[in-house]
């Protein structure tokens, strides 16, 4: 069966991955085209980060270089460590009051820009998400120190909001001037009688936002997880890790879990609270959506409390069904399994009906996807459902394991930049450690295809001949458009308008533009319709790029 099998003869939601639209030789030609515009030194480095996928008989992909510094002068789409810590992992939790210790710009630009939604449940349920609190450091503070100002800010914030917890985020200058944010947090925690914790997540701390994820995982695990002793009710208790409720994705998944009788103890951290994260050790299973940002938490929860985890993907109707079946299999309850099958059948029918309508208009169209650290993978099956071909995909800041699978973790070289980020020493907690499944039970689950404690990475699921690109640069994006002439590009706001000026639609897979949810069955239907509208819109052929109308400025490299 090929990927292009008609909707009339095969189930479009069956997960069948077919051949690539390019041969390996054609992909290698594109790679050469990308590198030839660079000075030799830069081309040598980029060469290791641009890989033609070609799996061996075990399904192993070639090695890709990832999580290394972007070269000076290359325009990257990456973000900073503060962004990964504040904006991504801790940010979506509505009842932790968050203070940015730094100049006002860092707080301002992380203020409601990620579309992570939340829903307070009652008038007593704190929701601080609309606020942006900053110490607004000035030149004077940089010279004489900002710690006093931070202490004052924490007290003032407490007096106004009376929160249960306060988190403090360090920006670049804080690390440079040496403010002891942790001492301030400790003292204020004792003084105010609430949880106050600080993170040394200065923007430059790592090579990208990925370092900020790790720092946030450590802080939340240390200061929040396990701090709420009230056990949640429920038969099938699950934590969902790495789902941040962009465009309402978590709301859609919460609806499905509720329908199935699955208790979501907490999410890290879409639509989450300090209160629910504190209950995480009561769950019997951790499901991991975004491996890159939260795999540290999954491992620590397993080591300390004995909760197994596995990777899920709720993007696409097929993957959603598969992930739900894995959860049902883990719990091994016939009632839950029956409810799961009934829900899949019901909701897949609606997805198939929409596919029958839109697929003939999209079949065979091509897409390039360069997103973050997990979505470039998650969206591939959704495009396959539409009959579209992913020619090339890549992450901005993922690590080799997100590309090649966790099996390569022992081979990853730890460089100075990674050594900068603390790895917490975690051991089983004597009172609370209880392995939820025996080794034999876990082995049985693995044998039936549940990826317990594992993630296979993006490349293993991509066809041979697809071009995998780490930390794609602005120059390369334009060159890829010239060489591959895709029908659609998926990336973020930094790329959006340049790509559209080329007459090619761009769907933002970070913020979802103004759309979503795209997770779950209903989300998949939203995405099918959105992509149909975008790709088949008549406006694109009418666009004339400004650089086609006016001569462009040209320049040469000063040195090679
Ligand atoms: Fe995980 Fe994310 Fe992503 Fe990410 Fe992000 Fe995001 Fe992303 Mo933008 S946590 S790695 S740091 S799935 S903000 S919700 S869309 S780059 S692919």
Q: In the structure encoding, which two tokens stand for residue 341, read together?
A: 């099958």
Among protein residues, the one with the nearest Cα to ligand 1's atom 15 is 510
On the question of pLDDT at 3 being above 80, the answer is no
Q: Whose CA is nearest to atom 5 of ligand 1?
A: 372
- Omega before residue 269 within 30° of 0, cis: yes
Looking at the CA of residue 396, tell me the nearest atom of ligand 1: 16
Residue 2 has pLDDT above 60, yes or no: no
- Residue 538 tokens read as 């008549």
Whether residue 213 is predicted with pLDDT greater than 70 in this model: the reply is: yes
Q: Are strands 96-101 and 133-134 parallel, antiparallel or unpaired?
A: parallel
Q: Which domain holds residue 188?
A: 81-206
Our count of domains for the chain comes to 1
Best CA proximity match to 302, nearest among 439, 206, 504, 108:
439
pLDDT tier at 560 (50, 70, 90 boundaries)? low
Determine what percent of the chain is predicted with pLDDT higher than 90.
Answer: 91
Task: Judge whether 99 lies within some domain.
Answer: yes
3-state class of 398 per DSSP?
A: coil
- The yes-or-no verdict on residue 382 having pLDDT over 90 is yes
Q: At 267, phi and psi to the nearest 5?
A: -115, 140
**Domain-embedded: residue 279:** no
Give domain status of residue 346, yes or no: no
**Ligand 1 centroid – CA 458 distance (Å):** 15
pLDDT at 548: 83
CA–CA dist 35, 93 (Å, integer): 42
The answer on pLDDT for 265 being more than 70 is yes
CA distances from 74 to 28, 42, 47, 298, 371 (A): 22, 9, 14, 34, 17
Distance 87 CA to ligand 1 centre (A): 10
Task: Identify whether 329 is part of a domain.
Answer: no
pLDDT at 142: 96
Order of strands, sheet of 133-134, starting from the edge strand that comes earlier in the sequence: 133-134, 96-101, 165-170, 195-199
> In which band, very low, low, confident or very high, does the pLDDT at 17 lie, cut at 50, 70 and 90?
confident
| Range 429-437, long-range pairs (CB < 8 A, 24+ positions) | 429/226, 429/304, 429/305, 432/226, 432/281, 432/304, 432/305, 433/304, 433/305, 433/306, 434/305, 434/306, 435/306, 436/284, 436/285, 436/306, 436/307, 436/308, 437/308, 437/330
pLDDT tier, 5 (very low <50, low <70, confident <90, very high otherwise): very low
pLDDT in tens, 481-539: 999 999 999 999 999 999 999 999 999 999 999 999 999 999 999 999 999 999 999 99
CB 380 within 8 A of CB 369: yes
HEC secondary structure over 177-213: HCCCHHHHHHHHHHHHCCEEEEECCCCCCCCCHHHHH
For atom 6 of ligand 1, which residue has the closest CA? 510
Task: Judge whether 151 lies within some domain.
Answer: yes
The one-character DSSP state at 52 is: E
Higher pLDDT, 558 or 405: 405
Q: Is the pLDDT of residue 130 over 70?
A: yes
| CB-based contacts of 390, cutoff 8 Å, min separation 6 | 366, 367, 368, 369, 380, 383, 384, 462, 466
Q: How far is the CA of 559 from the centre of ligand 1 (A)?
A: 36
Ligand 1 site, residue 375, Cβ cutoff 6 A: yes
Interval 144-194: pLDDT, tens:
999 999 999 999 999 999 999 999 999 999 999 999 999 999 999 999 999
Binding site membership of 374 for ligand 1 (Cβ less than 6 Å): yes
Ligand 1 atom nearest the C-alpha of 83 is 11
> If you write DSSP's letter for every residue of 418-470 in order, what string do you get?
HHTS--------TTT---SS-HHHHHHHHHTT--BT----SGGGSPTT-EEES
- In eight-state DSSP terms, residue 91 is T
CA neighbor of 192 nearest in space, from 170, 168, 208: 168
| Residue 118 resides in a domain | yes
* Residues 161 and 128: beta-carbon distance below 8 Å: yes
Confidence of residue 278 (pLDDT cuts 50, 70, 90): very high
**Residues taking part in catalysis:** 80, 83, 114, 213
Could you tell me the CATH number of the domain that includes residue 157? Answer: 3.40.50.1980
Average pLDDT over residues 382-400: 97
| Res 549: pLDDT | 82
Give domain status of residue 143, yes or no.
yes
Average pLDDT for the chain: 95
Q: What pLDDT is recorded for position 555?
A: 75
CA-wise closest residue to 490 among 388, 358, 361? 388
CB atoms within 10 A of CB 539: 10
Indicate whether residue 292 lines ligand 1 (CB < 6 A).
Answer: yes
Q: How confident is the model at residue 6 (pLDDT cuts 50, 70, 90)?
A: very low
Using the predicted structure, report yes or no on whether residue 547 has a pLDDT greater than 70.
yes
Tokens of 465: 């001949």
| Residue 451 resides in a domain | no
319 Cβ below 6 A of ligand 1:
no
């Amino acid at each position: 069966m090929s990927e292009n099998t008609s909707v009339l003869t095969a189930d479009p939601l069956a997960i069948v991955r077919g051949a690539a639209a390019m041969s390996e030789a054609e992909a290698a030609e594109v790679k050469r085209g990308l590198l030839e515009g660079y000075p030799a030194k830069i081309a040598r480095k980029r060469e290791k980060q641009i890989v033609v996928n070609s799996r061996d008989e075990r399904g192993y992909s070639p090695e890709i270089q990832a999580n290394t510094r972007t070269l000076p002068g290359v325009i990257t789409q990456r973000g900073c460590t503060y962004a990964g810590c504040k904006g991504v992992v801790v940010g979506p939790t509505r009842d932790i009051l968050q203070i940015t210790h730094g100049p006002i710009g860092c707080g301002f630009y992380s203020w409601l820009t990620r579309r992570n939604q939340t829903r307070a449940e009652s008038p007593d349920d704190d929701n601080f998400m609309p606020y942006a609190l900053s110490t607004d450091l000035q030149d004077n503070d940089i010279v004489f120190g900002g710690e006093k100002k931070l202490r004052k800010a924490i007290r003032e914030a407490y007096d106004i909001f009376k929160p249960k917890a306060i988190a403090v985020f360090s920006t670049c200058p804080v690390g440079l001037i040496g403010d002891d944010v942790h001492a301030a947090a400790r003292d204020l925690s004792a003084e105010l009688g609430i949880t106050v914790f600080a993170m040394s997540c200065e923007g430059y701390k790592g090579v990208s936002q990925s370092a900020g994820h790790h720092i946030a995982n450590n802080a939340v695990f240390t200061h929040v997880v396990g701090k709420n002793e009230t056990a949640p009710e429920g038969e099938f208790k699950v934590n969902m890790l790495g789902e941040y409720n962009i465009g309402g994705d978590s709301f859609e998944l919460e609806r499905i879990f509720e329908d199935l009788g699955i208790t979501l103890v907490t999410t890290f951290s879409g639509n989450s609270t300090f209160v629910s994260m504190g209950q995480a050790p009561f769950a019997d299973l951790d499901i991991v959506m975004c491996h890159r940002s939260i795999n540290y938490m999954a491992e620590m929860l397993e080591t300390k409390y004995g909760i197994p985890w596995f990777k899920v993907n709720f993007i696409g109707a097929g993957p959603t069904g598969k992930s739900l079946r894995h959860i049902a299999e883990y719990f091994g309850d016939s009632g839950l399994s029956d409810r799961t099958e009934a829900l899949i059948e019901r909701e897949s029918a609606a997805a198939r009906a929409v596919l029958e309508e839109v697929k003939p208009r999209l079949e065979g169209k091509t897409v390039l996807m360069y997103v973050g650290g997990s979505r470039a993978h998650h969206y591939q099956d959704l495009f396959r459902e539409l009959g579209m071909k992913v020619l090339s995909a890549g992450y901005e800041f993922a690590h080799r394991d997100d590309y090649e699978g966790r099996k390569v973790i022992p081979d990853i070289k730890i460089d100075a930049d990674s050594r900068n980020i603390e790895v917490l020493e975690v051991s089983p907690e004597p009172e609370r450690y209880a392995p939820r499944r025996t080794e034999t039970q876990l082995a049985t689950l693995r044998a039936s295809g549940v990826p317990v404690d594992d993630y296979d990475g993006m490349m293993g699921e991509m066809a041979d001949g697809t071009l995998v690109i780490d930390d794609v640069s602005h120059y390369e994006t334009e060159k890829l458009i010239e060489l591959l002439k895709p029908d659609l590009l998926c990336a973020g706001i930094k790329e959006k308008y340049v790509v559209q000026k080329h007459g090619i639609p761009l769907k933002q897979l970070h913020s979802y533009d103004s759309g979503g949810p795209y997770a779950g069955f209903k989300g998949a239907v939203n995405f099918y319709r959105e992509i149909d509208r975008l790709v088949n819109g008549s406006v694109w052929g009418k666009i004339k790029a400004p650089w086609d109308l006016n001569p462009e400025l040209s320049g040469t490299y000063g040195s090679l």
